[in-house]
Structure 1
């Protein structure tokens, strides 16, 4: 009983260390991003066909904090994934450690692909659609804070959604899920993904389709990758 209690304490201590390291790295990247935040800001707004307005002296600070936070989050992603791997690796075999370690850089790559999809494809489409609704009936007036909040809502969620294949492969490697479960819950997963796409896009058919199709393809790709990992596991078990 005493040994079991010590084991729990050690796990909690390792978890605390992992959280501290991740937060420390996030703060470091946040400070670095904040130093260069004006350059990042000008890079993001240089091609805008309109000027952004400020309603108060604190608005630009809030925008700078948002930009620095997103940059720091993206940069910290590999570190956070590595800390998660280090925390659970003692319970894995040597072979499982090598396989799951390969998922760490993949998480960062897919996060950036999701962000890029939102920024370069979805965001311009949605923004142009919303601006077209006004025609010449209204004067277009964008505040800096609202513009960047809208930008984050159109990009950041896709950074996490595009990590679905790697997360599915990782969980399959650990034996938590398998492709048969994913196939069984396919219709429920489709419903959630379609609902998500409808909620984050404007109410027009084209925008919905442009978001729904990649999300459904991600889920189907996740099932295929899960099958690949599951079959390798079964083959290794047979050989052992």
Structure 2
């Protein structure tokens, strides 16, 4: 490896470290703000269905503090998500063309909206189904429902966060297509494997009943097909831009060769 390549690698690593430090700084500041926002959010969720019908208990002296920490982190994660995406975009943007830079920058608000939509879908649709299913099993066994607050919210987070992240699939696919790492042909080729993975995920994050699995699996499969559609649109646009560039560049090169060689010998004889 040449000295120039070593310097280039060092520069990239230095830039990566700087961007990671920026993300961590925003995350820490957001967590401080999250501590103040945690209490009203926790109380709202405790008063909402399905937990509003039961009592949550502290099973450890640390449960209350643990709840503040966990909710502060989740709030900070949501606030920091646009910063994380922007830093990732800034890191890879020098390798993109100007039109690709502006196009991929617009993915950031879309990614945030999809993340929030995934959280809402998981909390309002899937989580009540999962909780009611497990609660019905508990009642069938004639057990007293006494839930620890830490275990209850851990159960909720294990459903909400994975689904929120899975809702980022279209943005990830669009971004990788712009970077020419993915294309619709590859996505169609791995469709069966992707379907299998998404169905496994849907089965893991939902209670073991067929209806809940279907309610999660169908949106995930639709998200994948939507991702394939978006990838196809971006890929066709890339091909069209390449054809226009080649045509324009080819004409310029042809004119340059004519200017350099001058008039043909036959033209001199006629004149």
Could you tell me how far apart the structure 2 residues matched to 1:40 and 1:30 are? 14
- Number of the residue aligned with 2:29: 28
Instruction: State which drifts further: 80-89 or 33-42.
Output: 33-42
Could you tell me how far apart the structure 2 residues matched to 1:45 and 1:139 are? 19
Q: CA deviation at 1:159?
A: 1.2
Match of 1:110 among 108, 114, 117: 114
Q: Tell whether 2:200 aligns with 1:195.
A: yes
TM-score, with structure 1 as normaliser: 0.98
Q: Tell whether 2:56 aligns with 1:52.
A: yes
**5+ long unaligned stretches in structure 1:** none
1:170-204 deviation digits (Å, cap 9, x = unpaired): 00011001000000000000111111111111111
Q: CA deviation at 1:36?
A: 2.4
Q: Tell whether 2:212 aligns with 1:207.
A: yes
Q: Tell whether 2:183 aligns with 1:173.
A: no
Q: How does 1:61-80 map to 2 (within 5 A)?
A: 61-80=65-84
Could you tell me how far apart the structure 2 residues matched to 1:67 and 1:19 are? 22
Could you tell me how far apart the structure 2 residues matched to 1:86 and 1:159 are? 24
Could you tell me how far apart the structure 2 residues matched to 1:51 and 1:218 are? 37
1:4-29 deviation digits (Å, cap 9, x = unpaired): 11111111111001100001001111
Matched residue count: 240
Match of 1:156 among 155, 161, 175: 161
Q: CA deviation at 1:134?
A: 2.5
Could you tell me how far apart the structure 2 residues matched to 1:101 and 1:56 are? 45
Could you tell me how far apart the structure 2 residues matched to 1:195 and 1:154 are? 14
- Number of the residue aligned with 1:86: 90
Higher RCO structure (Cα 8 Å, ≥6 apart): 1
- Number of the residue aligned with 2:263: none
Q: CA deviation at 1:35?
A: 1.9
**5+ long unaligned stretches in structure 2:** 246-271
SS of the residue 1:177 aligns to? coil
Structure 1 residue ranges, 4+ long, deviating more than 2 angstroms after superposition: none
Q: CA deviation at 1:138?
A: 1.2
Q: CA deviation at 1:135?
A: 2.7
Larger radius of gyration: 2
- Number of the residue aligned with 1:16: 17
